Structure formats: structure tokens, C-alpha cells
Amino acid sequence: MSWSFPSRPTRALVDLGALAHNFAVARRAAGARAVIAVVKADAYGHGAADVARRLARDGCTRFAVATVSEAALLRAAGIGAPILLLGGVHGPAEARGALALETTPVVHHDGQCAWLEAAAAERGRRACVHVEVDTGMHRLGVPAADAAALAERVAASAHLALEGISTHFARADEPDPAPTRAQAVAFAEVLERLRKRGVDPGLVHLANSAGLLGAPAWEDVVTGNAVRPGLMLYGVPPAPRHEDAGLRPVMTVETEVAALRRVQAGDGVGYGASWRAPRSGWIATLPMGYADGIPWSVGRSGGAQVLLAGRRRPIVGRISMDLVTVWLEEDAVAIGERAVLFGASAGERLGVEALAAAAQTLPYEILVRVGARVPRVPIG
């Protein structure tokens, strides 16, 4: 038996029109290069199925995810386009699953190649893979000195096909272009070694959102023929210097005032009475908390705000699992009035970057931590 009840007013509006606009910005920046839309982590918390379907409608022909389960979700949503598996595979069973879903895994060591070769042999079809090169991230990827040999091994395999080669920028969001340029130089050297060995690298991609928007710093070294935008698709500039890129925020997290409490000077609010009213005024209680993605830390650090009745209002007291309290001073608002954690309200915008700054974290983390019980509501 299934049940359907009205839900509390807390929800995440996902503006697919803004998403389409940001995709167009990425395509213009990419020029002739293919755009591989990164929709991992449930499209950065926005809902991968709806996001991928809209991007496909607007001309996106390639996607990237981190895990096999994320790829399965896209296939179930009707996405038939190529899916790049950025996290690669972690064993023989996952290799079989990745190929059953017709994904294109990234490889960075010989063991992955062996697992995929065995899985491809079982299917009687060659498996397309991309080789990731570590040019300075020191996280995943085959070391640059060994990359040409691994790519050549893939190209020579009876069961694998080298479809592409990539690297990942570690510091493209920083003002100093030198580290990014150094990575591009190291990557170009790998490509040159491959060409000298007669190996076609196929799709060549190194630009994430910050790299794409900061391309003049490295494009004279190697341009590639594909790019991998992620964060910018969701309307968040990867660095302050990209705020003029014309991106539009995609997600708005909103709720409604659930309760109002009159407090006097010195009254404590929330667990531990960690915040005390500086004078008499009103507290609004909103039905969202750390289970919904508000970092608990902002209740200790302060600085976080919501948009309520056309103004920015400070979050005060500790964040509860399901509730948060807001200081109104003497302003009158009504129960049921709309409040926005981040996004737009009454012509005012409060970016996710502000909440991230208050929590001393990244906008990425805020977006992906919007809780599963917060329904994503596509609009536009």
C-alpha cells in the first residue's frame, strides 16, 4: 500500500530554465569542444534525473557521474547518451555492472583494465575507456610518467578501446594561473608521447568549471576537444572572479514560518541557550534543520541568514535536527510567511555561497547535503 500526504512546506525549487541558461554559457565557452555535463552526486543535489533529461533536451550529448549506481539512475530515467564513469570501477563485479549499463569507465591502473577486459570478453564486445592522468592533483590518475604506457596498453587490447584521455585541475579556482598552466604542460607532454607512438587519444579533456571559465591561462598549451563543467551548470561561480560569467542559480531552498515566539532581553534560544536575545523581540521558527542540510556549525559560528519578509534575518541559536530559529527583532511577520535559506525571494537574492562561508565550507558541500527528505520541485 502506498500513502500520499501533504508534506511540510520545506522544499528545494530546481529552476530548469536557469540550468538551460548555464548550459548555454558552458557551450559558448567550450566553442567547438564537446560538453560532458557532470551530474554526479545526484546532479550536485539538484536531482539527476530531471537535470539530465533537461540537459539532453537542450542538446547535451554526454554525461559524467562518479559511481555505477549513479549511472543506473540515469539509464532508468531514460538517458541513452554516453555516460563517463569518473570514479572508475573497484572490482570485477563493478566492471560487469558498468559495462552492462554501457558506461565508459575511467581507468588509472592496470588492475582496472584487467577487470574490464574480462567483463568485456564475457559480453563479446569491446569496452570503451578513458585514461586519467595525474598531473598534480595526486588523488586519482596514472602518474604522468606512466600514462602513455597505460594508454598504449589500452589501445592494444583486444577487449578495450581507448576513447579518451583526461586530467583534472587541482587549483584552477585560484587567482594564480601558474599551477594550472603547469598541469596543462605536463598533460601536453603525455599527449605528445602518445602521438609519437601512433596512439590516437580520442576525446581529450581537462577543463572543469573553473578551468573552462579561466581558459586563457592554459589554452595556448593544450585545448582538448571536450570539457567537463559541473558546478557552473548549477549557477554557482567556481571562484569570485567568475561572478561576471552570467550564471543563474538553479536551486532555491525555501520553507515557511512555523511558529513565532516573543522573547525578552536575556532569554536563551535553543539547545544550551547558546544565544540570548540582546533586547526584546520576536523569534521565528522554521521547519528545517541539520537533517535538511543546514550545517550544524553555523549555529555556533553565526553569520548565517535567511530571506524573510524582504530582508536578511540572522539565524540564531543552535541548529536542531528539524528546526532553526531566526531573530526578527521587532518586525512583524506571519505564520506561513515564506523564508528562503538560499536562492531568491521578493527580488532579493541570498546565494548558497553565503551559507557556505558561514559554515566555513564550500558551496558544493551545501548543495549536495540538502537532505533527501527535502523534495526537489522542478520549475521552469
Residue 181: all three cell numbers together: 598552466
Phi-psi region of 123 (alpha: psi -120 to 50; beta: other; left: phi over 0): alpha
- Nearest-CA neighbor of 366 among 46, 67, 64, 66? 46
Of the residues 40, 44, 234, 290, which is catalytic?
40
The CA–CA distances, whole Å, from 174 to 210, 222, 239 equal 9, 19, 7
In angstroms, rounded to a whole number, what is the distance separating the alpha carbons of residues 45 and 53? 15
Kind and range of the H or E run holding 152:
helix 144-156
Q: Which 3 state secondary structure label does DSSP give 61? A: coil
For residue 58, give the DSSP letter. Answer: T
C-beta atoms surrounding 275 within 10 Å: 21
β pairing state of 203-205 and 160-167: parallel
44 is catalytic: no
- Nearest-CA neighbor of 313 among 343, 344, 339, 352? 339
First-to-final CA distance of the chain: 32
In angstroms, rounded to a whole number, what is the distance separating the alpha carbons of residues 64 and 103? 9
196 is catalytic: no
C-beta atoms surrounding 311 within 10 Å: 15
- Nearest-CA neighbor of 64 among 230, 225, 201? 230
Of the residues 44, 234, 271, 364, which is catalytic?
271
Residue 202: all three cell numbers together: 580520442
CA atoms within 13 Å, Cβ hemisphere of 46: 32
**Cβ 123 vs Cβ 99: under 8 Å:** yes
* Catalytic sites, residue numbers: 40, 271
